[in-house]
Structure 1
Amino acid sequence: MDSFVEQLKRGTEEEFTEESVWNGSAVNTTSSSLPAIYLPLLPRYLRHPTTRGRKATEFQETKEACLNYIQDALLQHQWQRAAEFMTIYLETLENTSAEKRMAAPEVIWRIGTEILCHHSKSSIEEFNYFAEQMKNLGVKRYLKVCLEHVFHLLCNGLIDEAYQNLSLAEGWRYGEQTTAQDKELKLIQAYKGLLDYYNWTKKRKAMLELDGNFADSVEQEMHSFFRQAAVNLKEIIKIPGVWDPFVKCYVDLLEFYEDYDEVRQVLSEYAYNSKFPPNPNAHVYYYQFLKRQGESKKTLMSVLKILHEIVPSHELMLEYNAMLQKSTLASILTGSRRSGTLERTGGQPSTLATTWRKEIGRKMKVLLVKKHWWLESCWEEIANTSNMFHTKAA
């Protein structure tokens, strides 16, 4: 594939003018089966509006037109055509406008990644080369490009390569940009922690299958991965945000080593800290942990009550409803005993408790009647259908 990645290596030599964009002659297509593209998407006077009274140069208008062609090719999933236009659009890195020249790497990175992820002839080697070129085009996007590169490697099953790239990005420093990209750097470390957790789970499985000296050495390696993963995962979940995968992995690590106090603190903070955005999963994780620890029904209900306010239709509301029914009946009976009602009524439950029970019993009877009625009508319909069939056959 004569792709724009190769164009990055040798530079573009094609003559490209605004007029050639409109008539389609600028594109040297490798396949004659591809139809010519004409894009009357907007009136010409609306495509390149001038700003602050400054008229765009012919070079800028040409590149804007080329970008329109690329976007249209992407929408139609014409990856080869988009790649061919991209070799021309790379010239925008030499734009005389400082503003457009600074914005160009972002556009090239996002569009180029999209093309390489979908093109049938794209290879992991080409993507790696393109990512490295994008990292060197601007320090402001260095860590973001690193993350996207890592995601692509993980999607292709290249876990070791992804870990290596994360390690390199973790050690990246560039003056004031290091402080400006502190959150991105923590995200890099967090994903590195996820891969450390992945290696920890593999070692844990191996340790359970081995005995003797081999098991001891594997346990040491496993503990090393635990320390690395725990440090990075703990840092990211301190930042307000939604960090469900990181929290689950961190909790799994802590529970394995029976550090339940730390788990309680982490999950409580994740669920109830007002700086964090509302997150139903945070309350679910906390509830599930408390349930595993055998906490009282009152504590569990207090967690589910808040979850009910956020997501009334959550599946855990079935458990919450069952708890409420048991709690209501228990409180009625307990209240009757404490108020001396049983003594005044000759040891019988209060009128309120009796009424409540009768109401439940009445509803259950109605459900049973409906159930029997449905069964009877169903069998009656089947019998009628069967009789009609036999009559027609006779």
Structure 2
Amino acid sequence: SSHEHKLNFKKSKEVCLSYIQDAMLQKQWKRAAEFLTFYMESLEKDSSTESMGPSEIIWRIGTEILCHHSHSSMKEFNSFIEQMKTSGVKRYLKVCLEHVFHLLCNGLIDEAYQNLSLAESWRFGEQTTIQDKEMKLIQAYRGLLDYYNWSKQKTILLQHGQDGFEDLSVEQEMHSCFRKAAVNLKEVIKIPGVWDQFVKCYVDVRACFTD
């Protein structure tokens, strides 16, 4: 019967999750990944509404496994994260932020910036209070990366002087980064909270230019 099928599915799902958690506790990432694959395949085969619930679990567990699995690649991580972004609208911005942090930890600054820009332009229905806070974080970190790029361009300019076409293009790029950083950082420090790093960057940017 349909009821019996749901009970059996729920039981097998719980058993599979316990296997995944056990493997993760023992740092057996390959084994955990295999169980997670089986878990996801089981959900895809099931047609009941029960299969719609665990996307949060899959995202959390999957991210943890991919971060620790010795054979996982950035391509696999990106693919998994993109899949998770589309699995739940309410979690989209949260997953985007986690994706950005992972890219930054791996030194992929340009990719992180691109993802922040895409996330900032995302819209779906009426924005919740939580999503509004997440969007502010996305804007803040984009401002932080604009500051990073501005600082990098400023260093290049100081090292090479202000002569030549190449340096002119660097100066133009630096001004562009300054404007974007100033706008985003100015907005985020208006919000109550601990923004020490953002305030420091904003003060540094403003110190080089007058209003």
The match for 1:68 is: 18
CA distance in 1, matches of 2:198, 2:12: 46
- What's the RMSD between the two structures over aligned residues? 2.0
The match for 1:131 is: 81
5+ residue gaps in structure 2? 1-5
The match for 1:111 is: 61
Deviation at 1:218, TM superposition (A): 2.4
Moved over 3 A (4+): 92-98, 177-180, 213-217
CA distance in 2, matches of 1:76, 1:95: 33
Q: Counterpart of 2:190 in 1: which secondary structure? A: coil
Mapping of residues 73-222 of structure 1, within 5 Å? 73-90=23-40, 91-92=42-43, 94=46, 96-98=48-50, 101-102=52-53, 104-177=54-127, 181-209=131-159, 210-214=161-165, 215-222=167-174
Q: Counterpart of 1:181 in 2: which secondary structure? A: helix
| 1:246-303 alpha-carbon deviations (Å, 9 max, x no partner) | 12211111122267xxxxxxxxxxxxxxxxxxxxxxxxxxxxxxxxxxxxxxxxxxxx
Residue 211 (structure 2) pairs with residue 256 (structure 1): no
1:226 is matched with which residue: 159, 173, 178? 178
Residue 192 (structure 2) pairs with residue 240 (structure 1): yes
CA distance in 2, matches of 1:143, 1:57: 33
5+ residue gaps in structure 1? 1-55, 260-394
| Higher relative contact order structure (alpha carbons within 8 Å, sequence separation ≥ 6) | 2
Q: Counterpart of 1:176 in 2: which secondary structure? A: coil
Q: Counterpart of 1:121 in 2: which secondary structure? A: coil
| 1:21-46 alpha-carbon deviations (Å, 9 max, x no partner) | xxxxxxxxxxxxxxxxxxxxxxxxxx
Which amino acid is the alignment partner of residue 154 of structure 2? Answer: R
Deviation at 1:96, TM superposition (A): 3.2
Which amino acid is the alignment partner of residue 197 of structure 2? Answer: P
CA distance in 2, matches of 1:97, 1:171: 31
Which amino acid is the alignment partner of residue 172 of structure 2? Answer: Q
Q: Is the 8 A contact 1:237 1:243 kept in 2?
A: yes
Structure 1 residues 189 and 219, CA gap change in structure 2 (3 angstroms): same
Which amino acid is the alignment partner of residue 69 of structure 1? Answer: Y
**What's the TM-score once normalised by structure 2's chain length?**
0.88
Q: Counterpart of 2:124 in 1: which secondary structure? A: coil
CA distance in 1, matches of 2:47, 2:59: 17
CA distance in 1, matches of 2:143, 2:115: 13
Which amino acid is the alignment partner of residue 101 of structure 1? Answer: M
Deviation at 1:101, TM superposition (A): 2.7
Structure 1 residues 180 and 242, CA gap change in structure 2 (3 angstroms): closer
CA distance in 2, matches of 1:138, 1:241: 28
Residue 17 (structure 2) pairs with residue 59 (structure 1): no
CA distance in 2, matches of 1:213, 1:165: 33
CA distance in 1, matches of 2:114, 2:18: 37
CA distance in 2, matches of 1:233, 1:178: 22
Structure 1 residues 64 and 101, CA gap change in structure 2 (3 angstroms): same
The match for 2:3 is: none
Structure number with higher helix proportion: 2
Identity %: 69
CA distance in 2, matches of 1:197, 1:95: 48
Deviation at 1:147, TM superposition (A): 1.0
Deviation at 1:178, TM superposition (A): 6.5
The match for 1:304 is: none
Q: Is the 8 A contact 1:74 1:82 kept in 2?
A: yes
Q: Is the 8 A contact 1:196 1:225 kept in 2?
A: yes
CA distance in 2, matches of 1:178, 1:166: 19
**What's the TM-score once normalised by structure 1's chain length?**
0.48
